[in-house]
Amino acid sequence: MPPTEDDPRFEDLDWNEIQQSKRTVTAERAALAVGVALLALGRAYQELSAGLYLIGDWRPVTLDWAFLLAVTVVAAYGAVPFAKRLRRRPVSLRGVLRRRPAVVLSGAFVAGLVAVGVVGSALGGSPPLRFQHAYHPPVGFASTVPPQECLGVETGGPFDRVCHGTWEYPLGTNERGHPLGFLLVEGARTAAYVTVISAAFIVPLAAAVGVVAGIRGGVVDDLLSSYVDVQLCIPALLLYFIGYAYYGPSLLLLLATFGLLSWGGIARLVRSEVIQRREEGYVLVARSLGASGAYVARRHILPNSTNTLVPAVFQLLALFVLIEAGVAFLGFHEIGTYSWGSTISESINAAVAGQLQERADQPAHKIWWVSSLPAAALTATLVAFKTLGDGVRDALDPRGDRS
Amino acid sequence: MTEEPICSVRGLEKHYPITRGLLRREVGRVRAVDGVSFDVERGEALGIVGESGSGKTTTAHTVLGLEEPTAGEVRFDGDPVSELSGDERRDFRRRAQLIVQDPNDALDPRMTIGEAVAEPLRIHGLDDADRRRAIVADILERVGLSGDDLDRYPHEFSGGEKQRISIARALVVSPDLIVADEPTSALDARVRSEILDLLDRIRREFDIAVLFISHDLDVIRRSCDRIAVMYLGEIVERGATETVLADPAHPYTRVLLSSVPSLDPTDRELGRPLTDTVPNPSDPPSGCRFHPRCPDVIPPDDLSVPEETWRTIAGFRFSVQAGELPESAVGDRESETPTSGDGDAGGRTATEVRRAVGLSEELRDPEAEAAVEDAAAELAAGDVDAADEILAAAFTSVCERETPAAVARPAGRDADRDATGTVSCLRHGRGGTSEPARSDGDGKNES
């Protein structure tokens, strides 16, 4: 198509008229501002209102507010750019599903996890203790350690009763008579808290430190790099136990210690990517155009670092889930937080340090569902995070479109 | 020209400190650019040519303000660049544009080319995305691509196309100066000439000055009005392209010219450098920086050997200094010292060393003969440093002691054009008395 008279041409631009724009409103910032404002309103309402509960019988605590803030941050700087990108170059869901089913499934799983984290707590309160209903097997299975009151079909004689699964408790119950479905959802909520809070606060910190060290170089780089090296030497678990000694078990404490001590690896990755790319031609051109360091980092360096950065971040998040489960497995968790780790621990007669934790009085193989189901959920979460990390990396790379 | 030059560089220096230890104590400095001055007139093409490591790219980056100069001044449109601030600085950033060498890293692989070409507009405040897009589509067509390419990514384009995109990106903000850093060195010959044509066309059409940085004399010859030859951070010769290349006054320019492949094999001899190693810019040679490699280095006054022999001696001396001797010319330190030991299998004799460096015949000058013999004996014994000292003491050229000043190029066949050029070589400029060794710039008397 030959240029016509109406076509704007670059030489017709009047550069005396074009002013440096101070465009401050972007979709990301708007989303962040709206989210933060809503949270502040909710917090103020909870503070001022006479009622004990915010919505239904949900009474959010500091951790919940931190999680909601983290969700806002992730939505503003993860979901909004993603939506923008989709609008610029639409992708058919069916096509992606056919080409990369594992990634789509993982994405759905992670999205579900986060959704459970957001709405799960508001949905149901804690079911009551029903020791008489302990050890119901899942539907379709039978238990040789039957509950006092078996709600399903009972077979066998009085001394070798066998209780069959019931739809009352489709996934069975543990020794306190808590349905496993509830425990899985609660564990998912914990996992969602861990991942979203880490992603929202730890990853930006790591990226910022890496970018500053890489771009500024010199003494700044030396100081930041050696600080990161020192920090990587401190075992976060030790710090958690010190905090535990003072404050007792707390998920917030766990997130703070592991979060604040574990971003060093990501920061180092970012720094090396920055150093590798800061002399690239397009960075030189952008700088000669007068672009600031922040602009160059945001528009050029970080987008080009996603191949290493994104899988590393997802791996770190999966690791946090695993660490939380491990700490809970050892019993150093709040008793009211039903993590997958603590559920597994309670069912396998592990002689563990945490004295607060109840232990099953049955051999683990006889009540296998109590440990297997959370373990499967944990495994699925780890696999989903890693698969999704690789999928996001490929989706962001224009050359990575392997169909 | 009466008009002020668009870009004027005076005494530009850029040194990179070499630091050591925690406190970053300075232990030396790399003199990447060391006292460079030139003007780029409006709408003209100036070429800066030199080997790798001569400081061309650092000069380009310093001119654009990407590096702070250590000393000296860059003026753009009359204003010192380092003092610009606010709107003026922004204006400079718009009016001076960069085209980088490697088309593969010139464009961000994560940006579509539409975004890449629109980036200057965006950074400089054109917020209307639709207008940006229309302008970019238009300019892409005018540099020989299709407006439909907007949404494609750089890896879908060839090297030449990417360089066209780079040119479009530099052009889109209507600059007055484009600094093109080796714009064609990564391209094959046919594409290269297309890109040079394109640059030439936009330069004439929009009256944009172009500062070409290149190691390739053909590129400069083709595109530039004037040329400046750089060696180790200094400009050694400058002038109108045609006259400098037809009648090079500085030995280094001749070396560069002879390195251009030619169909005539006899052409090459005149400009072969004595040694191939470019000296380290953190420790540049004294006097004239080119003297250790200069095929035309001035002999000591008291030496009475033919020109040809002197060149061989100088070649010998500076090869020893640079550690570039042929394998057969250095003895083995470990073996028994072969002072006269014929038949010693492991060692070398002074005679063999002399044969290897082309000085086997006895020299007429007795002092020179003694020095060469001693040095050869030391080399045969494997002591390169001692040989270097002996040679340095015996054959000290004026080129090592005196730093040449820039003087007007000698009047060649075209006196008018020569008036603008300068050359920094003691052959031309020692107190204005000495005659150039070669009056014939083509150097045909040497063959």
Is B359:B316 a contact under the CB 8 Å cutoff?
Answer: yes
Q: Specify the higher pLDDT residue, B444 or B329.
A: B329
Residues forming a β-bridge with B29: B17
Inter-residue contact A142 to A163 (CB < 8 Å): yes
Residue of A226, A288, A292, A296 to mutate for B, most B C-beta atoms under 10 A: A288
Name the residue of chain A whose CA is nearest to B115's CA.
Answer: A299
Contacts of A398 in chain B (CB under 8 A): 109-110, 153, 155
CATH 1.10.3720.10 maps onto chain A at 93-128+180-396
Quick check: B173 contacting A, CB < 8 Å? Answer: yes
What's the pLDDT score for residue B359? 79
Nearest partner of A179 among A375, A368, A369, judged by Cα: A369
User: Which residues 272-291 on chain B approach chain A with CB closer than 8 angstroms?
Assistant: none
- Asked if residues B179 and B65 have their Cβ atoms less than 8 Å apart, the reply is no
The alpha carbon dihedral of A354, A355, A358, A360 has a sign of positive
Instruction: Give me B410's structure tokens.
Output: 């000698």
Instruction: Give tens-digit pLDDT for B376-395.
Output: 888 888 788 888 888 888 88
Which residues does A44 contact at the CB level (< 8 Å), separation at least 6? Answer: none
**Residues A303, B108: C-beta atoms closer than 8 Å:** yes
Contact call for A284 and B151, based on CB within 8 A: no
pLDDT tens sequence for chain A (403 residues): 444 445 678 877 777 777 666 667 788 889 999 999 999 988 888 888 776 666 666 777 888 888 889 999 988 888 888 888 888 777 777 777 888 888 889 999 999 998 888 787 666 667 777 888 888 888 888 887 777 788 878 887 777 788 888 888 888 888 888 888 888 888 998 899 999 998 898 888 998 999 999 888 888 999 999 999 999 898 888 999 999 999 888 888 898 898 888 889 999 999 998 998 888 889 999 989 988 888 888 889 888 888 888 999 999 999 999 999 998 888 888 877 788 988 888 887 655 544 555 666 777 778 888 889 999 999 999 999 999 999 988 888 887 654 4
CB contact under 8 A, B109 and A291: no
Taking an 8 Å cut-off on Cβ atoms, the answer to whether A11 and B174 are in contact is yes
- Chain B residues in contact with A280 by the CB 8 A cut-off are 105
Separation between Cα atoms, residue A259 and residue A194, nearest integer Å: 9
CA distance A169 to chain B (A): 51
| pLDDT value of position A182 | 87
Q: Which amino acid is at B427?
A: R
Is ipTM beyond 0.85? no
Which residues in chain A have Cβ-Cβ distances shorter than 8 Å to B135? 8-10, 13
Q: Is residue B103 within 8 Å of B163, Cβ to Cβ?
A: yes
pLDDT confidence of residue A5: 47
Continuous segment of H or E residues that includes residue A142: strand A142-143
Q: Which of B95, B34, B29, B42 has its CA nearest to residue B62?
A: B34
Please report residues of A whose CB lies closer than 8 A to that of B94: 15, 289-290
Helix (H, G, I), strand (E, B) or coil at A324: helix
Residue B289's contacts (CB-CB under 8 Å, 6 or more residues apart) are B231, B232, B233, B234, B279
How far off is chain A from B38, nearest CA to CA, in Å? 21
Cβ within 8 Å, pair A289-B126: no
B175: closest chain A residue by CA: A11
At a CB cut-off of 8 Å and minimum separation 6, what does B431 contact? none
Decide if B233 contacts B423 (C-beta within 8 A): no
Say if residues B183 and B199 touch (Cβ distance below 8 Å): yes
- Select from B401, B379, B390 the least CA-distant residue to B300: B401
**How confident is the model at residue A33, as a pLDDT?**
92
Interface contact B119-A289, CB threshold 8 A: yes
Among B24, B57, B85, B123, the residue to mutate for chain A (most A Cβ within 10 A): B123
Which residues in chain B are contacts of A10 at CB distance < 8 A? Answer: 121, 135, 138-139, 171-174
Please name the member of B22, B64, B171 whose beta carbon is closest to the beta carbon of A10: B171
Residue pair B164/B145 in contact (Cβ under 8 Å)? The answer is yes
Mutation target vs A (from B119, B148, B165; most A CBs, 10 A cutoff): B119
**A292 contacts on B by Cβ (under 8 Å):** none
What's the gap in Å between the CA of B92 and the closest CA on chain A?
9
Give the closest-approach CA distance of B171 to chain A in angstroms: 8
How many whole angstroms separate alpha carbon A378 and alpha carbon A97? 24
Contact list, B110 vs chain A (CB under 8 Å): 300, 303-304, 306, 396-398
The more confident residue out of B266 and A321 is A321
Residues of A in contact with B206 (CB under 8 A): 11
Looking at the partner chain, which of A21, A306, A398 has a beta carbon nearest the beta carbon of B127? Answer: A21
pLDDT at A57: 67
Cβ neighbours of B174 in A, within 8 Å = 10-11, 13, 15
- Shortest distance between the Cα of A213 and any Cα of chain B, in A, equals 16
Task: Nearest chain A residue to B183 by CA: give it.
Answer: A281
SS (HEC) of chain B: CCCCCCEEEEEEEEEEEEEECCCCEEEEEEEEEEEEEEEECCCCEEEEECCCCCCHHHHHHHHCCCCCCCEEEEEECCEEHHHCCHHHHHHHHHHEEEECCCHHHHCCCCCCHHHHHHHHHHHCCCCCHHHHHHHHHHHHHHCCCCHHHHHCCHHHCCHHHHHHHHHHHHHCCCCCEEEEECCCCCCCHHHHHHHHHHHHHHHHHHCCEEEEEECCHHHHHHHCCEEEEEECCEEEEEEEHHHHHHCCCCHHHHHHHHHCCCCCHHHCHHHCCCCCCCCCCCCCCCCCCCHHHCCCCCCCCCCCCCHHHHHHHHHHHHHHHHCCCCHHHCCCCCCCCCCCCCCCCCCCCHHHHHHHHCCCCCCCCHHHHHHHHHHHHHHHCCCHHHHHHHHHHHCCCHHHHCCCCCEECCCCCCHHHHCCCEECCHHHHCCCCCCCCCCCCCCHHHC
- A288–B97 CB contact, under 8 Å: yes
For residue A122, the model assigns a pLDDT of 63
Residue B341 pLDDT > 50? no
Confidence band for B441, pLDDT divided at 50, 70 and 90: very low
pLDDT band at B233 (very low <50, low <70, confident <90, very high): confident
How would you list the strands of the sheet with B71-76, edge to edge? Answer: B25-40, B7-20, B71-76, B79-80
Residues from A in contact with B at Cβ < 8 Å: 1-3, 7-11, 13, 15, 18-21, 23, 89, 218-219, 222, 280-282, 284-291, 295, 299-300, 303-304, 306, 396-399
List the single residue in A1, A284, A306 with the smallest CB-CB distance to B100. Answer: A284
User: Shortest CB distance from A10 goes to which of B24, B97, B139?
Assistant: B139
Q: Name residues 44-103 of chain B within 8 A of A (Cβ).
A: 61, 64-66, 87, 89-91, 93-94, 96-98, 100-102
- B147 and A1: CB-CB below 8 Å? yes
Give the CATH fold of the B7-224 domain: Rossmann fold (3.40.50)
Residue of B nearest to A20 (CA): B125
Residues of B in contact with A1 (CB under 8 A): 141, 147
Cβ distance B172 to A219 less than 8 Å, yes or no, reads no
Residues written for chain A: 403
Question: What is residue A164's three-state secondary structure?
Answer: strand
Provide the shortest C-alpha distance from residue B295 to chain A (in Å): 37
Between chains, do B105 and A19 touch, taking CB under 8 Å as contact?
no
* Interface contacts A/B by beta carbons within 8 Å: 121
Q: Is B108 on the interface with A (CB under 8 A)?
A: yes
Residues from chain A contacting residue B169 (CB–CB below 8 Å): 285
Tell the residue number behind the tokens 């054109």, with chain if given.
B126
Specify whether the CB–CB gap between B47 and B63 falls below 8 A: no
How far is Cα B362 from Cα B307, in angstroms, rounded to an integer?
A: 15
Question: B365 versus A18: which is more confidently predicted?
Answer: B365
How do residues B326-337 score in pLDDT, each as one tens digit? 766 666 655 444
Is B138–A10 a contact, with Cβ atoms under 8 angstroms apart? Answer: yes
Q: Where are the domains of chain B?
A: 7-224, 262-400
Whole-number Å distance between alpha carbons of A90 and A279:
33
Which chain A residues contact residue B97 at CB under 8 A? 288-289
The angle subtended at Cα A388 by Cα A383 and Cα A390, nearest 5°, is 100
Cα(A81)–Cα(A333) distance, integer angstroms = 36
Report chain B's mean pLDDT, rounded to a whole number. 81
Residue A70, min C-alpha distance to chain B (Å): 27
CATH class for the domain made up of A93-128+180-396: mainly alpha
